[in-house]
């Protein structure tokens, strides 16, 4: 005798069992900003899982941190729409379609109050951290729509919601990335899933301005010791702490997840 709801439960189990295993081996992944600290860790982990990976980044970043063997490196400037179009044309020529795209592009400008921020600095931050994400997404989405259950992952920041003094342009741009992510998730469902990972500070060259943009070993924008003391998990995030959430959104395990933000901050911010 079936208990109430048993039929539905069994049908649900059968439906889940019929789902394919996580699409990993030979999946086509492109990483914008793949030469940065998080990008390099993500590329390495993706290769271990059998993905086919391409990296799009500044020519200087590709020269400083050449992609591993078997990974295509495509020189682009994410703030230049023509450069982005040329890079994605090469991706299309190489792959024909994409199964995953990760938008890691972005950088910080010098910390200062908004009242002291010039219009040029404001536009630089917005162009590099929001407009570039929009432009890259518009080029990636048609390729993802041709793929096998495409997934786009944007990288936002805890500052998008947990705003702090001195980070105004960057925080505004990253808040825009979250809104953009949610809109794209609605507009491109059900073919493509769009989600965002929002890390807190990660101990990479990004804290010093960004890979390919500054002295990667210079003074960070953040007091790392003070930051560590105020973090419940008592340490600064490392790149490997961020790659797991990104890979989750790319995987079949997240097949019913879209329009979401995953905050990765060691307990510093709990929305």
State the catalytic residues: 170
Question: CB neighbours of 6 closer than 8 A, spacing ≥ 6?
Answer: none
Single out the residue of 219, 120, 217, 137 nearest to residue 176, CA to CA.
137
Tell me the C-alpha to C-alpha distance, in Å, between residue 102 and each of 73, 92, 160, 233, 242.
15, 16, 18, 27, 12
Question: CB neighbours of 122 closer than 8 A, spacing ≥ 6?
Answer: 169
Within a 13 Å sphere around the CA of 8, how many CA atoms are in the beta-carbon half?
Answer: 2
Alpha carbons 41 and 55: distance in angstroms, whole number:
12
Within a 13 Å sphere around the CA of 90, how many CA atoms are in the beta-carbon half?
Answer: 14
DSSP 133: H
Query: Quick one: angle between helices 119-126 and 168-188, nearest 10?
Result: 30
Tell me the C-alpha to C-alpha distance, in Å, between residue 193 and each of 30, 65, 174, 239, 252.
15, 30, 19, 23, 11
Q: Euclidean distance between the first and final Cα of the chain, in Å? A: 45
DSSP 198: E
Token digits for 236?
Answer: 């600064």
């Amino acid at each position: 005798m079936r208990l109430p709801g048993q039929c539905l439960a069994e049908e649900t189990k059968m439906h889940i069992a019929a789902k394919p295993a996580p699409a990993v081996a030979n999946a086509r992944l492109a990483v914008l900003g793949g030469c940065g600290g998080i990008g390099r860790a993500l590329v390495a982990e993706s290769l271990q899982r059998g993905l086919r990976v391409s990296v799009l980044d500044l020519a200087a970043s590709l020269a400083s941190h050449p992609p591993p063997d078997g990974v295509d490196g495509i020189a682009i400037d994410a703030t230049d729409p023509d450069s982005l179009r040329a890079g994605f044309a090469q991706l299309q020529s190489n792959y024909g379609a994409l199964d995953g795209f990760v938008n890691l592009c972005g950088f910080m400008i010098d910390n200062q109050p908004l009242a002291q921020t010039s219009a040029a600095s404001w536009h630089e931050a917005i162009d590099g951290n929001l407009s570039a994400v929009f432009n890259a997404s518009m080029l990636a989405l048609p390729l993802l729509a041709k793929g096998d259950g495409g997934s786009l992952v944007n990288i936002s920041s805890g500052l998008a919601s947990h705003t702090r003094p001195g980070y105004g342009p960057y925080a505004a741009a990253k808040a825009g990335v979250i809104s953009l992510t949610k809109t794209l998730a609605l507009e491109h469902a059900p073919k493509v899933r769009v989600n965002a990972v929002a890390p807190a500070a990660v101990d990479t060259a990004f804290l010093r301005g960004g890979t390919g943009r500054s002295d990667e070993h210079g003074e960070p924008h953040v007091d790392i010791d003070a930051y560590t003391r105020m973090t419940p998990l008592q340490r600064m995030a490392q790149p490997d702490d961020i790659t797991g959430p990104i890979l989750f959104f790319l995987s079949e395990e997240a097949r019913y997840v879209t329009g979401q933000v995953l905050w990765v901050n060691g307990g510093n911010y709990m929305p």
